[in-house]
Amino acid sequence: MAAGVAAWLPFARAAAIGWMPVANCPMPLAPADKNKRQDELIILNVSGRRFQTWRTTLERYPDTLLGSTEKEFFFNEDTKEYFFDRDPEVFRCVLNFYRTGKLHYPRYECISAYDDELAFYGILPEIIGDCCYEEYKDRKRENAERLMDDNDSENNQESMPSLSFRQTMWRAFENPHTSTLALVFYYVTGFFIAVSVITNVVETVPCGTVPGSKELPCGERYSVAFFCLDTACVMIFTVEYLLRLFAAPSRYRFIRSVMSIIDVVAIMPYYIGLVMTNNEDVSGAFVTLRVFRVFRIFKFSRHSQGLRILGYTLKSCASELGFLLFSLTMAIIIFATVMFYAEKGSSASKFTSIPASFWYTIVTMTTLGYGDMVPKTIAGKIFGSICSLSGVLVIALPVPVIVSNFSRIYHQNQRADKRRAQKKARLARIRVAKTGSSNAYLHSKRNGLLNEALELTGTPEEEQMGKTTSLIESQHHHLLHCLEKTTGLSYLVDDPLLSVRTSTIKNHEFIDEQMFEQNCMESSMQNYPSTRSPSLSSHPSLTTTCCSRRSKKTTHLPNSNLPATRLRSMQELSTIHIQGSEQPSLTTSRSSLNLKADDGLRPNCKTSQITTAIISIPTPPALTPEGESRPAPASPGPNTNIPSIASNVVKVSAL
């Protein structure tokens, strides 16, 4: 039942008195209105903006948040108002829905934000009024397409090391940019297509005379050369076709696809020609078959995005093209008939029959006007001019539709490419941020450790470390620490050589020394310039065994600092919401891992300079950007981790 109509319910009930005298049976009792309140104003405080409305207005829709008792959860006793920590702009629309019964969609609002708000208030988007529904649906569809595009491209970029040879080949064919070999193949085939097409064209050019015979086309003069060229091209095409056929995931579907049919048609004439070389009867047909060699030019559509877009546009405008054709046909028949009868009287008229007049009509309507057929009578001229004027109109009508379709698809494509390019950068940045965040945790652990160690010596370091972590961060770190304790493993950062085994021995002196040294190096490296070629090859490796003083190697902190400084610069650019404070410098706590004193390590709230609180493990960069965090195995991973991670980072800065 519509909302406002609820206001008329009392009226309808009152009018029911009209039935009473004619009623057969006694009436049921009326429901008692238990808490019959006087209608009161209620205050809705949405992020500071106060809206007021009658209680009954909200109760019109009892299955939404505001109309049901669910809003009591938001009631603030002190101020006697309902407080919602949401967007006041969208709330305006929501409240208007209660008032007028119509839900509108404001154009300036982001569609997903709007959807979220509607979901919060328990309102189905389907009841958006007709005035705004189309706009809403369009934007929603666009958004969904965009997200799907992103998802697709994301999926495409996951490298699956477990592809079979066949699958790699297919990917190479479809995306030539994946490997250099594919790229080479791509260009080679492109080159040969061009050669083949040019050969076909040049074959027919008259080439000068051979003494003793008339002028020959080049094809016949240098038939051997052309034959060799043709053979080479066809061989390449055949090989390509067979390779594609082999690599195709679904061979049946591949054979049916348009491109493969074009391939086949392009190379068939050659083979047929080989088979039937000397048979005079069919050589005529064979010559005709050579026409199909022109289909090779369509093979270029694999190489050109624009051609594909054009083809797709034509396909999507099929109805407009169909209409164009139909209306043209109608007009042609009408005008041809009229012209024929108009010109019938004149002598030596070229308009011998209606089909003969078709030619005139087409030429006139498309404003070509060859002049091989012209009307001579006055009536004919009149109708001829009407014909040409209407031709312009009829043809001009569907063209803008086709053009706008093409433009839309083309821009969509451009946008998709741009998004893909941007997405790489975005994901890289996200990855870096996440790298930083996991480092944050470890760093805080180390600092906690350090402070513990230095309890004896007072806390100069503590002040040096400066700002405090926020409560959320410390709680988060504590949570991660608990997880480590539960599983008995611990998080690994960057350098697998620093892999941690849950050592139960905590060596204070060792820690001290390590920490101290590390601190020195850190402070010196604090402002490590963010160049593109850090010396990443050396590996920091503080090994972790308890008695490993001997194996103490220097921590090569440039690694650790590199992500830090990068992160600092990225933070301005990054679109990711980085929780927590904004302290810039971020140092990995490689060494701390080891010393990880499982017992008694409490990340000391006072000391870290951590930035992010999103934890993930920066494992080999091939992983998806979501970066699953997993406890790293305590085995030395490939040493290429660091360079590759840094190179990821580097790539980001280049953009």
d(CA 28, CA 48): 48
Q: Considering beta carbons, is residue 353 or 457 the nearer one to other proteins?
A: 353
**Which positions from 88 to 107 touch other proteins by CB under 8 A, shown as an x/- string?**
-----------xx-------
Per CB under 8 A, 33 contacts other proteins: yes
d(CA 540, CA 525): 14
Which residues share a beta bridge with 44? 51, 82
Reduce the DSSP state of residue 601 to 3 states and report it.
coil
Closest by CA to 565, choosing from 547, 581, 580, 585, is 585
For the chain, how big is the Rg over CA atoms in Å? 39
Q: Considering beta carbons, is residue 61 or 185 the nearer one to other proteins?
A: 61
Per CB under 8 A, 19 contacts other proteins: yes
Q: Rounded to the nearest whole angstrom, what is the least distance from the CB of residue 204 to other proteins in the complex? A: 46
CB 601 within 8 A of CB 443: no
Q: Rounded to the nearest whole angstrom, what is the least distance from the CB of residue 428 to other proteins in the complex? A: 55
Per CB under 8 A, 55 contacts other proteins: no
Tell me the residue length of the chain: 655
Per CB under 8 A, 276 contacts other proteins: no
Per CB under 8 A, 9 contacts other proteins: yes
Per CB under 8 A, 12 contacts other proteins: yes
Secondary structure (H, E, C), 290-359? HHHHHHHHHHHHHCCHHHHHHHHHHHHCHHHHHHHHHHHHHHHHHHHHHHHHHHCCCCCCCCCCHHHHHH
Select from 19-27, 228-236, 532-540, 647-655 the region that touches other proteins (CB under 8 A): 19-27
Q: Considering beta carbons, is residue 20 or 456 the nearer one to other proteins?
A: 20
- Residue 11: count of CB within 10 angstroms of its CB: 9
Select from 13-21, 403-411, 414-422, 447-455 the region that touches other proteins (CB under 8 A): 13-21
Q: Rounded to the nearest whole angstrom, what is the least distance from the CB of residue 147 to other proteins in the complex? A: 39
Q: Considering beta carbons, is residue 25 or 471 the nearer one to other proteins?
A: 25
Per CB under 8 A, 577 contacts other proteins: no
- Residue 532: count of CB within 10 angstroms of its CB: 11
Per CB under 8 A, 401 contacts other proteins: no
**Which H or E element spans position 207?**
strand 206-209
Q: Rounded to the nearest whole angstrom, what is the least distance from the CB of residue 367 to other proteins in the complex? A: 20
Per CB under 8 A, 14 contacts other proteins: yes
Q: Considering beta carbons, is residue 195 or 334 the nearer one to other proteins?
A: 334
Q: Rounded to the nearest whole angstrom, what is the least distance from the CB of residue 129 to other proteins in the complex? A: 16
Per CB under 8 A, 17 contacts other proteins: yes
- Residue 392: count of CB within 10 angstroms of its CB: 12
In angstroms, the Cα distances linking 39 to 36, 53, 55, 61 are: 9, 10, 6, 16
Which residues share a beta bridge with 103? 128
Select from 22-30, 420-428, 480-488, 576-584 the region that touches other proteins (CB under 8 A): 22-30
d(CA 110, CA 103): 16
Transcribe 398-429 into DSSP letters.
THHHHHHHHHHHHHHHHHHHHHHHHHHHHHHH
Per CB under 8 A, 224 contacts other proteins: no
Residues of span 541-570 touching other proteins by CB under 8 A: none
Q: Considering beta carbons, is residue 99 or 424 the nearer one to other proteins?
A: 99
Per CB under 8 A, 41 contacts other proteins: no
**Which positions from 309 to 348 touch other proteins by CB under 8 A, shown as an x/- string?**
-------------------------x--xx--xx-xx---
Per CB under 8 A, 36 contacts other proteins: yes
Q: Considering beta carbons, is residue 17 or 471 the nearer one to other proteins?
A: 17
Q: Considering beta carbons, is residue 185 or 351 the nearer one to other proteins?
A: 351
Q: Rounded to the nearest whole angstrom, what is the least distance from the CB of residue 392 to other proteins in the complex? A: 14
Counting runs of H as helices and runs of E as strands, what totals does the chain give? Answer: 24, 6
b or e along 591-625 (b: 16 or more beta carbons within 10 Å of the residue's beta carbon)?
bbbbbbbbeebbbbbbbbbbbbbbbbbbbebebeb
CB 376 within 8 A of CB 382: no
Per CB under 8 A, 20 contacts other proteins: yes
Close Cβ partners of 530 (under 8 Å, ≥ 6 residues apart) = 562, 565, 566, 569, 653
Close Cβ partners of 490 (under 8 Å, ≥ 6 residues apart) = 484, 500, 502, 593, 596, 598, 631
Q: Considering beta carbons, is residue 187 or 326 the nearer one to other proteins?
A: 326
Q: Rounded to the nearest whole angstrom, what is the least distance from the CB of residue 400 to other proteins in the complex? A: 17
In the list 16, 205, 245, 368, the residue contacting other proteins (rule: CB under 8 A) is 16
Q: Considering beta carbons, is residue 56 or 407 the nearer one to other proteins?
A: 56
Close Cβ partners of 69 (under 8 Å, ≥ 6 residues apart) = none
Per CB under 8 A, 30 contacts other proteins: yes
Per CB under 8 A, 10 contacts other proteins: yes
Applying CB under 8 A, the residues found at the interface with other proteins are 1-2, 4-5, 7-27, 29-30, 32-33, 36, 38-39, 54, 56, 99-100, 334, 337-338, 341-342, 344-345, 379, 383
